[in-house]
Amino acid sequence: MRFIKDLLCGAVMGIAEIIPGVSGGTMAVLMNIYDKLIGAISHLKEQFKKSVLYLLPIVLGMGLSILALSHVISPLLQNYPMQVNFLFLGLVIGIIPMLFRRACKGGVKPVHILPFIITLAIMIVLACFYSLTNSSVISTMDAGTFIRFALVGFLAAVCLILPGISGSMIMVIFGIYASVIAAISKLNIMMLIPVAIGVLCGLLFGSKIIDYCLHRFPQATFFAILGLVSGSTISLVQRALLPESANKVFTLPGAGGIAVAIVMLAVGIVVSLFFTSERMMNAGEAKED
């Protein structure tokens, strides 16, 4: 019975993680498994058998739900890129108020703003110098792509320790989300190996780094994340407004397609605001208590 319960919890987290802006960590908090989950990951080496037995059904549930949903999201990205990217843009915009609240919690000093400026500048530079074709699906692996996928996988896994931050959102920000979803739906193992390596390293080592930063420098850490997320909206707008996207508008005329995109933008904002609202976060914390 416990195995089935943890399997279902993992499935819910997987559904959340595949939707940029909706965090699997937030779902873990709401389902009252967050502390146990992070504890099992952090103490995997010291309590290997116990941790593996706890994590196995959760990881299995996440994997099955991600595999199932990839077959839905991949064709949507291919056929309706404008609408889907506007949805992602809304999901990212909706998470900004929560990040600002967390960054300002406990007071803000001028030095805390510096990480925000640095990460925002990095994202602006990436948006200016990255070719828009980087948002297309990558289907061939070379050394540069391997490193890029591994690093983004690392960052995505690290986000598991941050309720409210979605690992898939990190993949959207750095332009590999469509490629990873396509690789999952087609079971392209070669494309997924670097992501898997990055995710594993992120879970084993990155979570401890973030945990340290959150405990020692919470405001600076969240301001850095806020800059990263805020700056990502530039590249998301670029992808949403690509010329090839404009020709695929739910098979509706131009005005109709744009109207659908605006609706998807609003839906994304509302969904993110709901799942990162103080009421939802407080409800999860109350369950933990």
Output the 3-class SS for the chain: CHHHHHHHHHHHHHHHHHCCCCCHHHHHHHCCCHHHHHHHHHCCCCCHHHHHHHHHHHHHHHHHHHHHHHHHHHHHHHHCHHHHHHHHHHHHHHHHHHHHHHHHCCCCCHHHHHHHHHHHHHHHHHHHHCCHHHHCCCCCCCHHHHHHHHHHHHHHHHHHHCCCCCHHHHHHHCCCHHHHHHHHHCCCHHHHHHHHHHHHHHHHHHHHHHHHHHHHCHHHHHHHHHHHHHHHHHHHHHHHCCHHHHCCCCCCCHHHHHHHHHHHHHHHHHHHHHHCCHHHHHHHHHHHC
Q: Is the pLDDT of residue 289 over 70?
A: no
pLDDT of residue 283: 53
Is residue 92 included in any domain, yes or no? yes
41-45, 102-106, 224-228, 268-272, range with the lowest pLDDT? 41-45
Across residues 157-171, what is the average pLDDT? Answer: 73
Q: How many domains does the chain have?
A: 1
Residue 278 lies in a domain: no
Q: Decide if 200 is inside a domain.
A: yes
Backbone angles phi, psi at 46, to 5 degrees: -75, -35
Query: Which pLDDT value is given to residue 249?
Result: 45
45 assigned to some structural domain: no
What's the pLDDT at 23? 67
User: Range of 161's domain?
Assistant: 70-272
Do the domain assignments include residue 133? yes
In this prediction the pTM is 0.66
Please indicate whether residue 229 or residue 195 has the higher confidence score (pLDDT).
Answer: 195
Task: Kindly indicate the confidence band of residue 150, based on its pLDDT and cuts at 50, 70 and 90.
Answer: very high
Instruction: State the Cα–Cα distance between residues 29 and 285, nearest whole angstrom.
Output: 7
83 found inside a domain: yes
* 75 within some domain: yes
Whether pLDDT at 266 is above 90 = yes
* 198 within a domain of the structure (yes/no): yes
- Radius of gyration (C-alpha) of the chain in whole angstroms: 19
Alpha-carbon span 172 to 135, nearest angstrom: 9
pLDDT for 118 equals 92
